[in-house]
Structure 1
Amino acid sequence: MTPPISLACLLAGYQGSKNCKDIISSLADDILLLILSLLDLKEAARTSALSRRWRYLWSYLPGYYDFDVSATCWWKFRKIWDEQYLLNVRKFADYVNQVVSSSRAPRVHTFRVRIPLDSSYRADIHRWVNFAMGKSVKELELNLSFYYGVCCGGPLLLDSFSCYAQYPTGHTLVSLSLASLCINDSFVHSLLLNFPNLERLSMRDLHCQGGNVKVVGGLLKLRYLEMSFKTDLVTLEISARNLISIVFVGHDEDVKFSNVPLLQEASFEGTYPLRVIHNPRNISGFSSQLTKLNLNLPSMHKIIGNPIKLPHFGNLKLLELLFFDGLDKNLLIFTNFIDACPMLQKFKLRVTPCLSLSSCITDLQCYCICTMYV
């Protein structure tokens, strides 16, 4: 039986004899790049130490540049605010800079960075954006969220993307995801104007300077929209005729929908769902065309305390409600939701346990107490 050959042996051209011949290195560049594409970026970069032939080969990889700090060993044992933690974050950013400066790829499909960085890393972050935009990137994600950790500085103010309008990326970018950044109120308008092929836009936990955001355009190809703002948002206007799905996390903002004829799926979180329940005018313009609706409700008390005035959901097939409360309330209140949905096929009711239940349910953050097929 032939013994298994390790990857290291293969790279050395090992054929089971002492007279080793480097067979793989003699293959065409396209084939070698195909082999390297099966590895993650860090492993691919390590092949540069094999020989002169391999030294720069990895830098021509056109695929996925994925930098996720949670995948590192030190991240699992981190101590926030610890000096070593801050040093490791700096090293991780330097690693991204090194890869970016070494890359010789003519284009990049996906560029993703997930690490908690504050405004002190402004130069680094803009260097990464410049790199991605210059490589005709299709999917760009900058997630500086506190979900991945905590930084001591304020959020980074991201410059307008209008300077990239003449880049090839102006026509290639189809997906953009931003998290834990600061933007001004003209950022979104400029973004949609200069990137007409954008189909997916996710903006989470953002700080907004100016307070008025418009997602408006008669020629927009935007199909998926996710928006949540930590501070300062006052008004949000949405008019996108190709929009199919929206996720909005809000509170007291004035949200106006117009010209969304294809909108089929909606998810509302924060305290904004209460406005949907008690004031049907907020979504009455498109409620009859929705097929899926998700409402994350803060408390049963706030639902019961005011009269429920739901709009008509004539085509709704799936309704999912999540609320943060105990189980001591009369769940018959939710019959109002079912009555408003004559075509409903599936109804889900999920509960996040209150403190009194935490001792009984220790491993579940959320559990379903009701799934009903109508």
Structure 2
Amino acid sequence: MKQALRGTAIPGSSSQKSAPDRISALPDELLLHVMYFLTLQEAAQTSLLSRRWQNLWASLMWLNFDAAKFSSMRTYRKFVNNALLIRSSLPVPVPLDAFWISAECDNSDDSLDYSDMHPWIRHALNSKAWAIGILKHFGPKPLSMQGYPFPFTSVYLKILGLCHCSIDDWFAQNLSSCCPLLDDLDLMSCAIHATMFSSTTLKSLAITSTQTEKDFPIEFQYLVINMPNLVSLSLEEIPRRNIHLMDVSSVKTVSIYLYSLSFSNSQVQCSILSALSNANSLTLVSPSVYEDVCYLL
């Protein structure tokens, strides 16, 4: 990259002064393609090269804000806010394809809450992003979206990934009605308070639960999954939730992990296997006295 930009660096010899700026002469589409392979911070720094490059990076359609690249969560928060402010001030609105937030910084004991992320997600949705993810989140408790309008209302959203979030029935019900094109949902290390997930559009569902039971209500509840068009299912046992697969008749690939003995009895396993009788590939892992049991169909 430095060699490619040598003609635009600090002037040296007379031959360098007269050398054409071939990089800046490239069309925007090609320059943005090159920036796609840079980190977002590196892409933003190209604004320093010349007026031709100023804020060109803000037209990128894939944005990945990774807090691990920053010295503190404060500088990360400031960078994201400034980046989206620049995008909002572009003379012509630029749509987004994908918008990713990784809010985990090894060098900071600070964390983000949902009040920080809400305007970021709104920007992504207003820019017609079809893929949105909070891929990493560090904090003392799961992110809660209560008190806000449902944040993912969109006729464009197809892929949604959430990490360390609180997922309740309010979220599950709105997800089904407010995201008519959503077909891929990944809930990573989330606190699942919902009792039912129902969708006619989802084709892929993955749920990994938080490891501590303090994030869950004391009362025992069922988790019902009713998704007749689901093709891929990956599900970890959720504390104090008895899994009930209502309609997953189209599912082809399944992985289910049951960790506690209370969920690994034959009645639970037979109920799951019966509901997934049409699957081409099924892995059911559960504890026994000596070793895990793995069923493969």
TM tier, shorter chain? Answer: 0.7 to 0.9
Q: CA RMSD in A?
A: 3.2
**Structure 1 contact 33–58 (Cα < 8 Å) conserved:** yes
- What is the CA distance between 1:73 and its match in structure 2? 7.3
Give TM-score scaled by structure 1 length: 0.64
Counterparts of 1:162-311 in structure 2 under 5 Å? 162=150, 165=153, 170-208=154-192, 211-217=193-199, 220-230=200-210, 231-232=215-216, 234-250=221-237, 251-271=239-259, 275=263, 278-279=266-267, 280-298=269-287, 300-301=288-289
- What is the CA distance between 1:242 and its match in structure 2? 1.1
- What is the CA distance between 1:276 and its match in structure 2? 5.3
Q: CA 1:16–1:249 in 2, change beyond 3 Å: closer, same or farther?
A: farther
**Structure 1 contact 119–155 (Cα < 8 Å) conserved:** no
**Structure 1 contact 12–23 (Cα < 8 Å) conserved:** no
Q: Which has the higher contact order (CA 8 A, sep 6+)?
A: 2
**Structure 1 contact 258–285 (Cα < 8 Å) conserved:** no
1:136 equivalenced with 2:128 (yes/no): yes
1:122 equivalenced with 2:121 (yes/no): no
Gapped regions of structure 1 (runs ≥ 5)? 75-87, 304-322, 324-333, 345-374
- Bigger shift: residues 238-247 or 111-120: 111-120
Distance 1:91 1:232 in 2: 33
Letter in 2 for 1:125: M
**Structure 1 contact 255–282 (Cα < 8 Å) conserved:** no
Distance 1:243 1:161 in 2: 27
Distance 1:97 1:121 in 2: 14
- What is the CA distance between 1:13 and its match in structure 2? 12
Distance 1:213 1:194 in 2: 18
Which residue of the other structure, out of 66, 70, 77, is the alignment partner of 1:68?
Answer: 66
* Superposed CA offset, 1:231-252 (max 9, x none): 3263211111110111111243
Letter in 1 for 2:128: S
What is the DSSP-based 3-state SS (H/G/I as helix, E as strand, rest coil) of the residue aligned with 2:180?
Answer: coil
- What is the CA distance between 1:277 and its match in structure 2? 5.0
**Structure 1 contact 119–156 (Cα < 8 Å) conserved:** no
**Structure 2 contact 152–179 (Cα < 8 Å) conserved:** no
Letter in 2 for 1:227: I
Give TM-score scaled by structure 2 length: 0.79
Aligned twin of 1:354 = none
Distance 1:66 1:5 in 2: 23
Which residue of the other structure, out of 2, 6, 18, is the alignment partner of 1:9?
Answer: 6
- What is the CA distance between 1:17 and its match in structure 2? 2.8
Q: Highest CA radius of gyration, 1 or 2?
A: 1
- What is the CA distance between 1:23 and its match in structure 2? 3.1
What is the DSSP-based 3-state SS (H/G/I as helix, E as strand, rest coil) of the residue aligned with 2:57?
Answer: helix
Distance 1:282 1:222 in 2: 22
Q: Percent identity?
A: 23
Counterparts of 1:53-64 in structure 2 under 5 Å? 53-62=52-61, 64=62
**Structure 1 contact 183–206 (Cα < 8 Å) conserved:** yes
Q: CA 1:271–1:191 in 2, change beyond 3 Å: closer, same or farther?
A: same
Letter in 1 for 2:130: K
